[in-house]
């Protein structure tokens, strides 16, 4: 029969040649498929990433506490009215610069003019009496020398002439006092400075001692009110950092000029000297950062950050050798050109600086 295997030389049975060939072909096919599958699952190596790299680590950075500060002057001077009357003229407005002794307003009282004219009339009458007394004294002296009048008469005329001269001096002094009182209607600037307030309109009735204008006096300073617990951080000559509005912007510094010894409502006041204070308006607010100590933080160079549409990103090297753009939240660093990362990256991440855009 055709299905009966043929006997071998040793008397045993053997499979037909066709079965052996088919088994060999099947084995080769399986090996080929396995090799193809292995090649299809092998990823091609990623291209090398070019650019400066930075490994994220924790660094010690100063702990800065923001404190509000106000631009003001060391002192403020008040230009006050010295007499009662009507403010007939105001020569300045807010923001004007004035010099010490400059007339910034005029207060007028009509009664002072009437009194001065009355004293003028008294001076004229006293002057006439003094002239008459001097003439009488000259005649009496001549007659006394010729033996007509006695010595007692001469002494009497001399006394009358002296009294007339004294009355003239008193009248002149009264007139001068009245004129000086009228001259005090001029409101003078007590110091060099800038007018902060001049809100009394012309035509107003004012009283002696009433403020007509408020001026800055002394240099412009930055005045802060720090909590009493932080008063030890304020020492004369120490440098204090001014907060900046933009991350990466170079922060300016101010120098402590004076620390006031008194504590008011749990606050300690201090005056700082900073550049450019006199160029802006008085009373504006500036944030100051006091150094409380050091703390661990993630700080990176600002050149590793790129901003798009108001969002800051950094390029992080992933496990496959590629780059991931990760949004981060930043804050100004303690040094120029450094930024503190609040969220977005972790310690050990490798950052790659952005290169030129194609």
pLDDT tens for residues 82-140? 989 899 999 999 888 899 999 999 998 888 777 888 888 888 888 998 899 899 889 88
Bridge-partner residues for 227, per DSSP?
267
End-of-domain residue from the set 292, 314, 336: 292
Q: How many CB atoms lie within 10 A of CB 64?
A: 20
First to last CA, the chain: 81
The number of folded domains in the chain is: 4
The helix-helix angle for 110-145 and 151-183 (nearest 10°) equals 160
Query: Is 15 domain-assigned?
Result: no
Domain range for residue 86?
A: 79-109+185-213
* Domain assignment of residue 271, yes or no: yes
Closest by CA position to 295, among listed 57, 32, 140, 64 = 64
Question: Are residues 243 and 306 both part of a single domain?
Answer: no
Answer yes or no: is 136 within a domain: yes
For the chain, the average pLDDT equals: 79
Domain check: are 264 and 284 in the same one?
A: yes
Q: Which residues of the chain have pLDDT under 70?
A: 1-49, 244-251, 278-279, 334, 356-358
Residues 98, 197, single domain; the answer is yes
Q: Are residues 221 and 249 in the same domain?
A: yes
119 and 163 share a domain?
yes
Beta strands in 126-203 (DSSP E): 186-188, 193-197
Residue 49: partners with Cβ closer than 8 Å, 6 or more residues away = 317, 321, 322, 323, 352
């Amino acid at each position: 029969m055709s299905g009966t295997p043929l006997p071998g030389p040793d008397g045993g049975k053997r499979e037909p040649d066709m079965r052996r060939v088919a088994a060999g072909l099947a084995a080769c096919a399986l090996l080929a498929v396995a090799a193809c599958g292995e090649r299809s699952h092998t990823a091609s190596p990623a291209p090398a990433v070019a650019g400066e790299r930075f490994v994220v680590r924790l660094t010690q950075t100063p702990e800065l506490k923001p404190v509000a500060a106000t631009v003001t002057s060391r002192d403020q001077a008040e230009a006050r009215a010295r007499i009662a009357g009507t403010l007939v003229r105001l020569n300045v407005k807010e923001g004007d610069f004035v010099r010490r002794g400059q007339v910034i307003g005029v207060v007028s009282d009509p009664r002072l003019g009437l009194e001065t004219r009355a004293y003028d009339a008294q001076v004229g009458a006293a002057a006439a009496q003094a002239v008459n007394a001097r003439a009488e004294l000259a005649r009496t002296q001549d007659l006394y020398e010729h033996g007509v009048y006695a010595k007692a008469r001469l002494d009497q005329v001399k006394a009358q002439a002296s009294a007339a001269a004294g009355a003239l001096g008193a009248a002149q002094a009264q007139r001068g006092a009245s004129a000086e009182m009228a001259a005090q209607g001029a409101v003078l600037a007590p110091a060099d400075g800038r007018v902060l307030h001049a809100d009394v309109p012309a035509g107003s009735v004012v009283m002696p001692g009433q403020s007509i204008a408020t001026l800055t006096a002394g240099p412009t300073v930055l005045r802060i009110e720090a909590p009493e617990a932080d008063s030890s951080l304020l020492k004369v000559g120490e440098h204090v950092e001014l907060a900046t509005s933009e991350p990466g912007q170079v922060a300016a510094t101010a120098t402590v000029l004076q620390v006031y010894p008194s504590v008011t409502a749990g606050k300690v006041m201090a005056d700082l000297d900073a550049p450019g204070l006199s160029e802006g308006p008085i009373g504006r607010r500036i944030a100051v950062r006091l150094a409380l100590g050091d703390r661990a933080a993630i700080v990176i160079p600002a050149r590793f950050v790129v901003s798009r549409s108001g969002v800051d990103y950094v390029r992080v090297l992933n496990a496959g050798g590629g780059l991931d753009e990760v949004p981060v939240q930043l804050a100004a660093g303690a040094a120029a050109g450094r930024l503190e990362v609040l969220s977005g990256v972790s310690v050990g991440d490798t950052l790659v600086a952005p290169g030129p855009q194609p």
